[in-house]
Structure 1
Amino acid sequence: MGDRYSFSLTTFSPSGKLVQIEYALAAVNKGVTSVGLKGTNGIVIATERKSHTPLLEDNSIEKVSTICRNVGMVYSGMGPDARILLDKARKSAQEYKRVYLEEPSVMIMVKEIASIMQEFTQSGGVRPFGVSLLIAGFDETGPSLYQVDPSGSYWAWKASAIGKNMINAKTFLEKRYSETMELEDAVHTAILTLKEGYEGTMVESGIEIGIAYLENTTTKEGDKIQQGRFKKLSEPEIKDYLANL
């Protein structure tokens, strides 16, 4: 009886569970730890970047990615699944901008990605995505941080963690997080959270960090405005943060 439900994507078990979702979450929990924190003036997302062999080029691994100008994401779980979602999200963001001549809000991107993930829980011949995502961005409502799970469920968070060291990371965040912290403090706290479960000495090439913030820009008409911006920190920038811990 158990096998019958285990191999059916669209059938609930007698206990009311979709076991394929549980298998997908198990894949997430085997992935490296990723964290996200919301500051008063920005968002930070960070993750470990580990290779299983010194022969691998470190810069070929990318876990923190830009979706559009003001939104980015990080994943824990299966990399190939995350790439599919990233490609779909980027395409959706470009379509939105072409129609409305502006960047999409964080919520619009979260709903789009969550809808894709939910669809794969009830379609025949496919399986749920084996990733959880932390999506960070800055729009007219301010900084936003969302977590999206394989079921398509999503929640807004002040701080969150996903991956194999999720429980310890969340415990650490509960002790260290403050709603009044600014972006600089949030970056330091994110690094310290990863460091709690990091194996070996943490170096700039061993982690990835992305931040969302307000950027001062000038329009074509010469007006000065502020717009949301997401960017990845370079290794020299990360090295500076590590030196100041």
Structure 2
Amino acid sequence: MEDEISVRKIVNLDDHIALACAGLKADARVLINRARIECQSHRLTVEDPVTVEYITLYCKSSAETDPSGTFSAWKANATGRNSNSIREFLEKNYKETSGKETVKLAIRALLEVVESGGKNIEVAVITKEGLRQLDEAEIDAIAAEIEAEKEAVEAAKKAPPKDK
């Protein structure tokens, strides 16, 4: 039986950097290992953690990047299968939020295209305090909250209008 953690699509490279991969995990393992080693090497050599820009530039030769070799910062983005649908959802629904509302928006976007609810969703949150991956119970709780909100909206639509 395969360990569930070994097939994650979001992996920690360092205390403050995560890498999300789409497609076959086996194809990404080489990149993940090289990036982790570079993060460790940089910390030992320079005595500082790598920056996102540094590790992105280091990895760009091995991964899908913009043809010009540039990288971009995103407020909300998606990659992989169904990424266009998720991007469209995010473009329509994105607002500057923080904390739980941001995570909820990300999970809501993924639930638009993912079958079987929170079971097939991974979420990593990076804050000033560091990097944390949500466990399945946390994701399930947020997914249930989203589902309850959807049901409440549907019930409100079906309810007869109140007389004034």
TM interval, shorter chain, is 0.7 to 0.9
Deviation at 1:59, TM superposition (A): 4.0
Code of the residue aligned with 2:103 in structure 1: it is V
CA 1:84–1:197: 2 relative to 1, 3 Å: same
Residue of structure 2 in register with 1:49 after alignment? none
Instruction: Find 1:243's aligned residue among 138, 144, 154.
Output: 144
Find the aligned partners of 2:15 and 2:67 in 1 and give their Cα distance: 25
1:176-195 equivalence runs, <5 A:
176-178=93-95, 180-195=96-111
Residue of structure 1 in register with 2:79 after alignment? 162
Code of the residue aligned with 2:78 in structure 1: it is A
Structure with more of its chain in strand, by fraction: 1
Identity %: 28
1:63-105 Cα distance to aligned partner (Å, 9 max, x none): 1100001000111123222111110100111111001222111
Instruction: Find 2:112's aligned residue among 166, 189, 196.
Output: 196
Find the aligned partners of 2:136 and 2:66 in 1 and give their Cα distance: 29
Structure having greater relative contact order (Cα 8 Å, sep ≥ 6): 1
Code of the residue aligned with 1:100 in structure 2: it is V
**3-state SS of 1:198 partner:** coil
Find the aligned partners of 1:69 and 1:194 in 2 and give their Cα distance: 25
Regions of 4+ moved over 2 Å: 55-60, 148-154
Find the aligned partners of 1:79 and 1:102 in 2 and give their Cα distance: 29
TM-score under structure 2 normalisation? 0.79
User: What root-mean-square deviation, in Å, do the aligned CA atoms of Structure 1 and Structure 2 show?
Assistant: 2.1
Code of the residue aligned with 1:75 in structure 2: it is C
**3-state SS of 2:19 partner:** strand
Find the aligned partners of 1:86 and 1:176 in 2 and give their Cα distance: 32
Residue of structure 2 in register with 1:64 after alignment? 10
Code of the residue aligned with 1:170 in structure 2: it is R
Alignment length (residue pairs): 146
Instruction: Find 2:122's aligned residue among 197, 203, 208.
Output: 208
**3-state SS of 1:160 partner:** coil
Find the aligned partners of 1:190 and 1:82 in 2 and give their Cα distance: 23
Find the aligned partners of 1:171 and 1:208 in 2 and give their Cα distance: 20
Deviation at 1:239, TM superposition (A): 2.2
2:23, 2:80 within 8 Å by CA — same for their partners in 1?
yes
Deviation at 1:177, TM superposition (A): 0.7
Structure with more of its chain in helix, by fraction: 2
Give ranges in structure 1 of 5+ residues lacking alignment: 1-54, 118-128, 133-147, 216-228
CA 1:80–1:149: 2 relative to 1, 3 Å: farther
Code of the residue aligned with 2:128 in structure 1: it is L
